[in-house]
Amino acid sequence: MYEADDSLSDEVPVALVYNGISQVVLMATPQDLPELALGFSLTEGILSSVSQLYDLEIEQTSTGILVNMEIASEALLRLKGRRRHLSGRTGCGLCGLESLEAVKPVITPVIARPSVSVAHIVAALKAFSSLQPLRAKTGSVHGAAKVSAGGQIEALFEDVGRHNALDKLFGCGARAGWNWSEGFVLVSSRASYEMVVKSAVMGVGCLVAVSAPTALAVQLAQEAGMTLIGFAKPQQQVVYCGHESLVWME
């Protein structure tokens, strides 16, 4: 038995405040919070475009972090009219729903399903771990990356929550105007139904997950016209839908 220093990831409450009204609290790693707030607002349907976010300020308090956003009046009205009470993600992801009819999400059809090279998936997987410094240091965070049509990782975000890492990536991409129908998104987690829904909202044509998808995730990916790959390792991957979009030899 011996003593050693250990690095732990931060997990803090982050309140998203729209036009002065606190709507949701996320437990998140406190980096890249503007990207997280914007990505969450887009993938949850609060904002329909980046232009509806007028201003964003970060405020540190004694109990957590406030992300104060000023949004368009039509977006605020849509938020107030939603029957779902927004809440931080849990394992089930359904907390706050008011009826069984609200469980199944409305899926957004993907406009274009890109051709994706298996060789590019392998190359991205080999580079993935080396681009996750927080994961290497703490072992307790997830990563989400945008991979170009040529197989290069263009951006990667980390967070203790898999949904948060993905929202950070989407928030960054929304500001930059990335074309999500090219290349693919790579995540270090399982592919839950929410990861598929968020990806479909942003127009992602191919989602690659290091771990397994759920049955509902596969069903929704099929409905969206998305390619979904799980158990992704350099040696092998499992294609759950979208086989026809993969390029096996070059």
List residues with catalytic annotation: 92
| C-beta neighbour count of 231 within 10 angstroms | 16
* Bridge partners of residue 157, in order along the sequence: 144
What is the residue-wise DSSP string for 109-151? PPS----EEHHHHHHHHHHHGGG-HHHHHHS--EEEEEE-TTS
The closest of 121, 105, 142, 129 to 206, measured between CA atoms, is: 121
In the chain, which residue ranges form alpha helices assigned H by DSSP?
Answer: 33-43, 73-81, 118-128, 133-138, 162-176, 193-202, 215-224
Q: Which helix (H) or strand (E) segment is 14 a member of?
A: strand 12-18
| C-beta neighbour count of 54 within 10 angstroms | 11
Q: Do the beta carbons of residue 224 and residue 200 sit within 8 Å?
A: yes
* Bridge partners of residue 117, in order along the sequence: 247
Rounded Cα–Cα distance for residues 134 and 32 (Å): 13
Chain Cα centroid distance, residue 160: 12
